[in-house]
Amino acid sequence: MARVAFPLSVFQDSDGNPVSFGRVLVNISTDVQTPTPEHIAASFVVGIDLDVNGAVIGSPLVWPNAELTPSDAVYVYSVYSQVGQAIVREASLTV
Amino acid sequence: MATKNQITGGGFQDALGNPLALGYLQFELSQDSQVNGTTQIAAGYIVKINLDSSGNISTSPAQSVWPNDVISPVGTFYLVSAFSANGQLVWGPNAQQVLSTPSPFDIGVWVPASVNTGLGGSSSTFPSTIGNLPSFVNTTGGLQDSGVEAADVVLRSSNNQFGNTIQTFGLSGSGEVQVSNIGITIIDPSLTNVAAIDTATGTGLFSKLATSQTPAASTTASDHSVPIVLNGTTYYMRLSTTP
């Protein structure tokens, strides 16, 4: 029962250009309980900054979905460019 | 004499584990209630519970609420919402219960969408007669005026009020659960079995509808006898010209 690395590490636009200094917004689709036990708030959106190469800065960790209750929750993420243009909008992610 | 129980923990956080620092919770009791036989608890009085810098319930001072298992009527719950420090709703509202044990009560054990709202507590009439209800009663925060389809509903009766100790309604397809402010009605897809439950009293009624009937007239002397077959039993309706 441990958190794991956020599985998406580098972001590009549809032309293959890195999303330099962009931002990834992440939340969970529904309120869930963690094994610890604690609570992840579904509407508590968190941002992950990207570097010049579109790579995630830092080492964000997330709970595997199977360890959350209810277990049918998924992560939802959107990717924005440095100027705020939506590159990816509300994509689902299961870890 | 029942007393309030301290609530602790929670660990409210975002998807990456950042705490809901200095946020707060709001507790709203599901209905006006009574405790210790004399004390009234006003449901409309929303309680604010502060979180610390770790997203846990602040312990200084201790935050306490009335446990749901010591107040009347049974089956109450709290609608709990979590807000960020700047007032943004981030969690809930979720129906949750605080119990008298353990003390203090760690709210980390709460599982969102797990409390049956509108069904009462474990010792009331309702849960002893009804179970495995679909999730709509878990998440809407109460009864509502809408039809809801469900896959399966199982009714259990401790006093034969449904005519069976266990009655299962397979509702996939056209089966329906109808919830109103006065009761719950469950109809199976064949329109044969119906259960009605008065949510105020817990009284249940189970019946089979007359769906197959074979009217065919016959005559006996001066009377006419009309046999009608209902669910396999033949009844006779007599028509007579004699008063």
Asked if B124 and B73 touch (Cβ cutoff 8 Å), the reply is yes
Asked if A46 and B19 touch (Cβ cutoff 8 Å), the reply is no
Among A3-7, A50-54, B177-181, B210-214, where is mean pLDDT lowest? Answer: B210-214
Mean pLDDT in residue range A73-80: 96
**Closest CB from A37, A40, A69 relative to B15:** A40
For the four alpha carbons of B87, B30, B196 and B168, in that order, the dihedral sign comes to positive
**How is residue B102 annotated by DSSP?**
S
CB contact (8 A) between residue A44 and residue B110: no
Residue B158 corresponds to which tokens in the numbers above?
Answer: 């401790």
User: Quick one: pLDDT at residue B39?
Assistant: 93
CB contact (8 A) between residue A43 and residue B113: no
- How close is the nearest chain A Cα to the Cα of B112, in Å? 6
**A30 phi and psi, to 5 degrees?**
-150, 155
**Closest CB from B11, B91, B112 relative to A44:** B91
Asked if B154 and B131 touch (Cβ cutoff 8 Å), the reply is yes
Asked if B145 and B179 touch (Cβ cutoff 8 Å), the reply is yes
CB contact (8 A) between residue A6 and residue B16: yes
Mean pLDDT in residue range A18-41: 96
pLDDT band at A50 (very low <50, low <70, confident <90, very high): very high
Residue A6 corresponds to which tokens in the numbers above?
Answer: 């956020």
Nearest chain A alpha carbon to B9:
A38
Mean pLDDT in residue range A43-59: 96
User: Quick one: pLDDT at residue B48?
Assistant: 95
CA–CA dist B206, B185 (Å, integer): 10
CB contact (8 A) between residue B12 and residue A28: no
Of B134 and A17, more confident: A17
Number of helices and strands in chain A (H, E): 0, 8
User: Quick one: pLDDT at residue B136?
Assistant: 31
Per-residue pLDDT of chain B (243 residues; tens, 9 = 90+): 999 999 999 999 999 999 999 999 999 998 899 999 999 999 999 999 999 999 999 999 999 999 999 999 888 889 999 999 999 999 999 989 999 999 999 999 999 877 655 443 333 333 323 333 332 333 223 323 334 444 556 555 544 545 444 555 666 555 666 666 566 777 766 666 667 766 666 666 666 555 445 554 455 555 667 777 776 777 777 777 776
CA–CA dist B90, B13 (Å, integer): 10
Q: Does residue B104 have a cis bond before it (omega within 30 degrees)?
A: yes
Is A15 a residue whose pLDDT tops 60? yes
CB contact (8 A) between residue A31 and residue B113: yes
Among A24, A29, A3, A8, which residue's Cα sits nearest to residue A77?
A24
CB contact (8 A) between residue A44 and residue B111: no
Asked if A73 and A30 touch (Cβ cutoff 8 Å), the reply is yes
**Closest CB from A26, A31, A44 relative to B112:** A31
CB contact (8 A) between residue B11 and residue A39: yes
Of B134 and A67, more confident: A67
**Closest CB from A32, A45, A48 relative to B112:** A32
Q: How many CB pairs under 8 A join A and B?
A: 87
Is A61 a residue whose pLDDT tops 90? yes
Among B113, B176, B119, which residue's Cα sits nearest to residue B142?
B119
Q: Express as a percent the part of chain A with pLDDT over 70.
A: 100
Predicted structure pTM score: 0.65
